[in-house]
Amino acid sequence: MFVLVGPHVWRQRRRGALTWHGAPTAAVGLASVVTIDDVRSVATDLPRSYEVVVRGRVKFRVGRIVYLDFSRDQSIMGFAFPREWRPVLVSSAPDKFMLPIDSELRWNWVRVRLAAIDSAEMRELVLDAWSMVVPKRVAAAYAAPLSRVAMRSRLGSG
């Protein structure tokens, strides 16, 4: 029997002792768990984006505006999201998304459990949050090459 304990998989022996058995993807066949390093690899490549540590918490900013932050244990990511759509998002997947803490309800903000999303969804959330805080022309300039690559792949002329 395999037991998930944090980011590792342990194998339970007959007498109840747990022995380390490797990463969750190798033993259980789960999709890889998104970590702060995965988010960092996406966010640091975005124009005008930079990382800061405030009171022991990692945050990503554009100028002085925060668009991503992490809980102290780095299991939950807060991200910029339109306030009007927040209830819809949270009710659509309550196992993934949560409302922000009471002091953050006034902001355009939602939180997500990193263990509940995959890399593609994380990338989409990060790009959408970043595009909310940069000037429209910067977001459009960044998205233009991406849309050309997507169009080429759809047409099959790689």
Tell me, what's the pLDDT at 26? 37
Per-residue pLDDT tens for 40-67? 999 999 999 999 999 999 999 999 999 9
Residue among 16, 23, 38, 8 nearest 124 (CA):
38
Q: Which token pair is 154?
A: 């759809």
Looking at the chain, the domain(s) classified CATH 3.90.1150.30 span 36-155
Q: Which of 97, 58, 81, 91 is nearest to 131 (CA)?
A: 81
Q: What is the pLDDT of residue 156?
A: 62
Q: Give me the chain's average pLDDT, please.
A: 81
Q: Write down the residue that tokens 């993807």 correspond to.
A: 25
Q: Which fold has domain 36-155?
A: Aspartate Aminotransferase, domain 1 (3.90.1150)
